Amino acid sequence: MARRLYGIPLSGHVHRVRLFLSILKLDYSFVEALMQSSEVLKLNPLGQIPILEDGDIILTDSNAILVYLAKTYAPDSPWLPEDALGAARVQKWFSIAAGELRYGPAMARAATLWKHPDDIAPAQAKAATLLPFMNDELKQRPFLAGDMPTLADLSCYAYIKRAPEGGVSLAPYSAVQQWLERIEALPDFIPMPEASAFGL
């Protein structure tokens, strides 16, 4: 059965899927493909990455892919809690990943790397609201949704880790820094590439 992941290494959305595939020890081929490319548009008319092909199944949206992988290949694991509170906490962080994180640290990074200076300050302002909130949450528990790592952590890790590439310092947020270290200590962890490795 062919399993392929389409995207680019610099995308945090792509990294969260690559990280979970590694943790689950699932073999796959990585196909470098840009948003809105003809290859991507053929598989996802919205022109977004990542895209996962798992045999005859084609999935889009990074968090949806994480849910699929957890339900299919780790159904009884803590990665996607079945209890009401655990499931709600994961969903909360999925929403934050698609909202405050996407338009805060992730946008600041993208605007900096791709030279869109007008977008940097508003995104940094959103990051300045998100990070203290996240830091306070992580003072109460070791991981975002509880005592064990879940998909919530994987959905947020990459863009927080690379927030400094968008001029967003993590220095004031010790609980966030400690959480990053806990994620990086997970078995089969793979790092989020630095932009400098690609000449950016």
Over residues 65-109, the pLDDT tens digits come to: 999 999 999 998 999 999 999 999 999 999 999 999 999 999 999
pLDDT at 100: 98
pLDDT at 71: 97
pLDDT at 1: 64
Please state, for a pLDDT cut of 90, what percent of the chain lies above it. Answer: 92
Listed in sequence order, the residues at least 6 apart from 33 whose beta carbon sits closer than 8 Å to its beta carbon are: 6, 7, 8, 39, 40, 49, 51
pLDDT at 198: 82
- Are the CB atoms for 21 and 28 separated by under 8 Å? yes
pLDDT at 153: 98
Quote the pTM value.
0.95
pLDDT at 197: 85
Helix boundaries (H) for 24-173: 38-43, 62-73, 84-98, 100-101, 107-113, 120-140, 151-161
What does the alpha-carbon distance between residue 42 and residue 57 come to, in Å, rounded to a whole number?
14
Residue 136 Cα to chain centre, angstroms = 20
Q: Which regions of the chain are under pLDDT 50? A: none
Average pLDDT, the chain: 96
